[in-house]
């Protein structure tokens, strides 16, 4: 039974990826009907249970709408999708979508800059942030640096005391670590980057909102530049 459940889950995941890519690559227009679940199962050579599970995931992402007695209809993912759609758009059509990556990094930079300003205004104890900045300066493996980098920004967002920022960063976490090799350039050449972490942490600790925002802006912009250079 356990093996059958695992097999069905794998098949359902494949069906989900196929259908999600069709929607996200605009092979179906918003409002257009998808084939029935029975037809999909027959065309793909899978059972109905696998198709139902895949369709449920598509519904949860806001990619399709299923009405009783009606075929599935494609929704406009740009209007109805949430942050969970980003990872799927980023790697649609089997490759990296550069405009989506650039938009993601821009949103990250803007959010972190504002989080730094709020953290400097609201957090009384920034010792954890300072500690993480010092750990980044101490060096270590690329994997350790990525862990520290994300922990640093998580602490910064927590310090901002904005629950929406926290939830956004939670959504990014899985993407960041699932594709760790893609984002590794963000923490390379840490001898040059480390002073920016230290500067930002010091500004938050000193309760200097403007300086904190400027430091995070400089750090995240430099990280974006490095990633762009690495991707060519």
Q: Which residues contact 51 (CB under 8 A, 6 or more apart)?
A: 12, 15, 37, 40, 41, 44
Residues 77 and 172 occupy one common structural domain: no
Cα pseudo-dihedral 218, 222, 228, 232, rounded to 10? 140
Residues 118 and 198 occupy one common structural domain: yes
Boundary (domain end) residue, out of 55, 81, 107: 81
**Domain containing 47 — which CATH number?**
1.10.10.10
Per-residue pLDDT of 24-53, as tens digits, reads 998 989 999 988 888 988 988 888 888 999
Prediction pTM value? 0.85
Q: Where are the beta strands (DSSP E) in 69-221?
A: 73-74
Structural domain of 202: 88-231
Strand duo 73-74 + 64-65: pairing: antiparallel
* Ramachandran angles phi, psi of 73, nearest 5°: -120, 140
Per-residue pLDDT of 112-171, as tens digits, reads 999 999 999 998 899 999 999 999 988 788 889 999 999 999 999 999 999 999 999 998
Residues 28 and 135 occupy one common structural domain: no
Residues 154 and 72 occupy one common structural domain: no
Residues 96 and 62 occupy one common structural domain: no
Band of the pLDDT at 71, cuts 50, 70, 90?
Answer: confident
């Amino acid at each position: 039974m356990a093996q059958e459940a695992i097999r069905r889950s794998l098949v359902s995941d494949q069906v989900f990826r196929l259908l999600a890519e069709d929607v996200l690559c605009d092979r179906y227009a918003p409002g257009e009907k998808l084939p029935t679940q029975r037809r999909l199962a027959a065309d793909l050579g899978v059972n109905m249970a696998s198709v139902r599970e895949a369709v449920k995931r598509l519904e949860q992402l806001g990619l399709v709408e299923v009405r009783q007695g009606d075929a599935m209809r494609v929704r406009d993912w740009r209007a109805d999708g949430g942050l969970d759609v980003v990872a799927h758009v980023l790697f649609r059509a089997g490759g990296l979508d550069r405009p989506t990556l650039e938009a993601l990094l821009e949103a990250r930079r803007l959010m972190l800059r504002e989080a730094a300003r709020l953290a400097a205004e609201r957090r009384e104890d920034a010792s954890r942030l300072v500690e993480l900045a010092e750990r980044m300066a101490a060096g270590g493996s690329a994997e350790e640096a990525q862990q520290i980098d994300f922990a640093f920004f998580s602490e910064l967002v927590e310090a901002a005391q904005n629950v929406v920022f926290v939830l956004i960063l939670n959504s990014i976490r899985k993407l960041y670590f699932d594709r760790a090799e893609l984002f590794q350039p963000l923490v390379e050449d840490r001898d040059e980057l480390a002073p920016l972490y230290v500067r930002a942490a010091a500004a938050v600790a000193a309760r200097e909102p403007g300086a904190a925002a400027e430091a995070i802006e400089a750090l995240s912009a430099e990280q974006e530049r490095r990633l762009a250079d690495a991707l060519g």
